[in-house]
Amino acid sequence: MKRRRVGRVATISMHTSPLDQPGTGDAGGMNVYIVESAKRLAQLGIEVEIFTRQTARDLPPVAEIAPGVSVRHVTAGPYEELDKGDLPGQLCAFLSGVLRAEAMYDPGRYDVIHSHYWLSGQVGWLAKERWGVPLVHTMHTMAKVKNLLLAEDDRPEPAARVFGEEQVVEIADRLVANTPTEARELAELYGADPDRIEVVNPGVNLTVFRPASGQEARRRLGLPRDAHVLLFVGRVQPLKAPDVLLRAAARMLVDDPGLRSKLVVACVGGPSGNGLARPSFLTDLAVELGISDIVRIVPPAPQHELADWYRAADVTVVPSYNESFGLVALESQACGTPVVAASVGGLRTAVHDGVSGVLVEGHDPHDWAQVLGRFVREPAWREALAAGAVSRAAGFGWSVTAARLADVYAEAMAHLYRTPIAVSS
């Protein structure tokens, strides 16, 4: 019987480009996931073509970001950034561009489609029918989960997104869940067939994010050598809850006023989503809380600089209301910095409670202040968690993620064609 190989994947990321800087606009962990897994898939001999919406007139039609990995820019709507709420109106235009790109080649160019986020899943659904190939889909975030865990100032996801996600879940040949928790949510909230759900943990770039001198990192970033640095990294929006860190820091100063001369709260990231309505939110909150002197608001940073922020910090704080996985937590731990995270979603997988960091139930700033204060008072405990953090992250390399994804692609093809499949090597 003829054996089929996974040779080329059409990856669809409609609403955010893998070329965008994470921490800005809608760019975040998903962008990192797509780029890093694509590079490792290419190393396995599987070409990856990433379709995304063109957001600037001067972008080339195709851009190679690594050997075997290219980005195809599809014209769909105005070039400037559109709110995700406006993007469903561009689905037809984007789909047309994807289909036209494939039509330039002989039939059979793509062996499998991997769509990311529900908008891309809608495009992947129709492309799957047209090309006769399997659709693998990763949700990254789910409307039903977000609506169950809304922050105080957040808006619920619209019914149209819920319905769109349900359609993608029903049609996809395989659903990739980041954690067992997400797999359970897919089955319980969306009625997904457990036999079509595969758990594939995201990874971390262990070459970039690795332990190094924290004092040297502080010198490069202009931070005091003896500071107690609390770090937030991510998009500034209600879902990510950076306000919890600021309120906790203010509480720490109430409990120990002498800490003010050494405490630094660094927030690395930019407004996104609902946060765009109040771009000065963190600055205004710092003024309101009377802690402007200890808060540093830093624009999104490239990976090498971000690694320095992790190394310079005593602890990285991830107080999100929901995270499908939490790449920030992994990156921080890979640099040897423990994490204090909300006990939600994929953060329960990324952080080993009591070993590589601490998981906190709820979002009461008083509770967070108690945990963060312990990092100041007990440096030996912090060092023990730092060692556990490095060990925890070591098991989440992107090469492992890519190998698992290659297996999922092969299984999806085997199920569709009912023939044995071999992964390219």
Q: Is 313 annotated as a binding residue?
A: yes
> Can you tell me which residue has the tokens 């946060």?
275
Helix orientation angle between 303-312 and 214-221, rounded to the nearest 10 degrees = 120
- Residue 94: half-sphere exposure toward Cβ, Cα within 13 Å: 30
Q: Is 43 annotated as ligand-binding?
A: no
Report helix angle 303-312 to 327-334, nearest 10.
Answer: 70
Looking at residue 198, its amino acid is E
> Is 105 among the annotated ligand-binding positions?
no
Give the C-alpha separation, 40 to 262, whole Å: 42
Q: Is 323 annotated as a binding residue?
A: yes
205 is in an annotated binding site: no
Is 141 marked within a binding site?
Answer: yes
The verdict on whether residue 22 carries a ligand-binding annotation is yes
Q: Check whether 374 is labelled as a binding-site residue.
A: no
Q: Which of 347, 355, 354 is closest to 392 using CA atoms?
A: 355
Residue 15, marked binder: yes
Distance CA 102, CA 329 (A): 38
Cα angle for residues 119, 401, 187 (degrees, 5° grid): 55
Spatial contact of 127 and 95, defined as CB atoms under 8 Å apart: yes
Q: Please indicate if the annotation marks 378 as binding a ligand.
A: no
- Residue 98: how many CB atoms within 10 A of its CB? 25
28 in a labelled binding site? yes
Tokens of 67: 């050997």
The reply, when asked if residue 383 is annotated as ligand binding, is no
Annotated binding-site residue? 26: yes
Query: Does the annotation flag 316 for ligand binding?
Result: no
27 has binding-site annotation: yes
Is 31 marked as binding a ligand? yes
Q: What are phi and psi for residue 316, nearest 5 degrees?
A: -100, 135
Residue positions forming the annotated binding site for UDP-N-acetyl-alpha-D-glucosamine: 21-22, 29, 235, 240, 323, 331
Residue positions forming the annotated binding site: 15, 21-22, 26-31, 84, 117, 141, 161, 235, 240, 310-311, 313, 323, 331, 337
Residue positions forming the annotated binding site for 1D-myo-inositol 3-phosphate: 15, 26-31, 84, 117, 141, 161
Residue positions forming the annotated binding site for Mg(2+): 310-311, 313, 337
